[in-house]
Every structure is written in structure tokens, then in C-alpha cells.
Amino acid sequence: MTESYPELLWQLADLATRIAHARAEAEAWHAERCAAAHAAVAEAEAAIRAAQAEVDAARAELDAVDREAADLWEELVELLGPAASRHGGLPLPSPDPEAAGTDPQPWLASTRNLLDRVRKLAPLPRSVYPVLVLFGVLGAGIAVGLATAARAIGARYGGDLAIGLPVVALVITLLGPFTGLAPAKALADRQHAALDLRTAAVVIGAGLATTAVAAGLWR
């Protein structure tokens, strides 16, 4: 049965309404997806900017810590001299971050405090110089005695001992003037003082004089 013209118009209008409704739903869904995508992109960009800011801050802090550590190491080398410089430069960071901790500031503060304490150490007073001279004389005297004993043993038993022990005696004799530094350093530590070049020179000078006198007697 053929539909009438009004019925066809009504069906066409209903179809157009459903198409418009479907198009509106599709456009709304598309707009919603685009808005969600733009929001996700903006959120990702914000996260990237925040992460980059953290990286820049961490790099700046690392550079500052490295500079301060280098400055502290230079001060330590100036205070301790070859005793510190022989280690070959600034120590490397700990290979175990968990054991060393993630905050370098306590370590830097501890190092600064230690350097301050070292700077405040006064040299040994001149009143103990006679004791330092005694340390140098005794150290060198003991070394001379050991060297003399070594030569006597070598001369008595001969053979390889006659060849090796004089060499040992020579080494002991050369080290003798410096043996007094050990008790001198212990004395300085006990008095919370520094064993500087001047006080060390007193000990070594007394040791060298003792060794020279002994060498003259051997002749």
C-alpha cells in the first residue's frame, strides 16, 4: 500500500530529527574528547615543566655542593699539606647513596666544623721545646744503637748478614732523625695543639745533630 504524501513528510521529518540528534551527540562526544585530550596535554606539559624545574634545581644544588666540597678540600690540603694531597685529589662520592645519605649538607657542615677545629689548634708552646729536642735525640740515638747492633751482628756472623745488615743499618740511621716526630705528635695531640713545621724542625734538627755526632764518632 502506497503511503500518503503527509506520512512520507512525517517520516522524513522524524528521520531528520534523529539524524540531527545523532549528529549533536557525536559533536558533543567529539568536543568532550578534544577537551579531555587538551587537558591531558596541558597536564603533561605542566608535569614536564615541574620535572625540568626539579632537574635544574638538583643540578644547581649539585654544582654548589661540588664547589663547596672542592673549596673545603683545598683548605684541607693547605692545612695538612702532603698528608692530604697524596690521596690524589678530592674524594669521589660514596658508591652507596643509601649508606651515605641523600643530604650532603650534614657532611659539609661536619667538614667545616673539623676544619675550624684544625685552624684553632695553636702550635706547641716554646716551653716544651726541650722535650721536643729530647724526643729527637732519643729517637736518633735509639736508631743509631740499632744500626750499630745490626753492623756488629753482620760483622760477627758474616755471610749474607755481613752484606744485608749494613744496608739495614744505613736505612735505620737515615730514618733515625724522624723517629722523634711520633712522640712529638702524641704530645701535641694530648695538649690539643698542632705540630707545625717549626716544632717538627726542632725534633728533626735534634735528631740530625745526634746522627751527625754518632757518625763522627764512628770515624
Q: pLDDT truncated to tens, each residue of the chain (219 aa)?
A: 456 777 777 888 888 888 888 888 898 999 999 999 999 999 999 999 999 999 999 889 888 888 888 888 777 777 665 555 555 666 666 656 565 556 777 877 887 887 777 666 667 778 888 998 999 999 888 888 888 888 888 787 777 777 777 888 888 888 888 989 899 988 887 877 778 788 889 999 988 898 888 877 765
pLDDT for the residue 80: 61
162 Cα distance to chain centroid: 49
With H, G, I as helix, E, B as strand and everything else as coil, classify residue 2: coil
C-alpha cell at 35: 577537551
In the chain the beta strands, taken as DSSP E runs, fall at: 122-123, 193-194
Q: 193: helix, coil or strand?
A: strand
Instruction: Give the three cell numbers for residue 162.
Output: 755481613
User: pTM above the 0.75 mark?
Assistant: no
User: Judging by beta carbons within 10 Å of its beta carbon (0-12, 13-18, 19+), is residue 188 exposed, middle or buried?
Assistant: buried
CA distance 217 to 219: 5
Report the pLDDT value the prediction gives residue 1, as an integer from 0 to 100. 47
CA 184 to chain CA centroid, nearest Å: 29
Cα–Cα distance, 140 to 176 (Å, whole number): 4
Distances (CA, A) of 40 to 28, 29, 52, 67, 124: 18, 16, 18, 40, 71
- The distance in angstroms from the start CA to the end CA of the chain is 149
**What dihedral do alpha carbons 199, 200, 205, 211 form, nearest 10°?**
140
pLDDT of residue 29: 92
**How many CB atoms neighbour CB 179 within 10 A?**
21
Confidence at residue 2, expressed as pLDDT on a 0 to 100 scale: 56
- The count of other CB atoms within 10 Å of the CB of residue 76 is 18
Q: Which of 93, 85, 176, 185 is nearest to 131 (CA)?
A: 185
CB 188 within 8 A of CB 199: yes
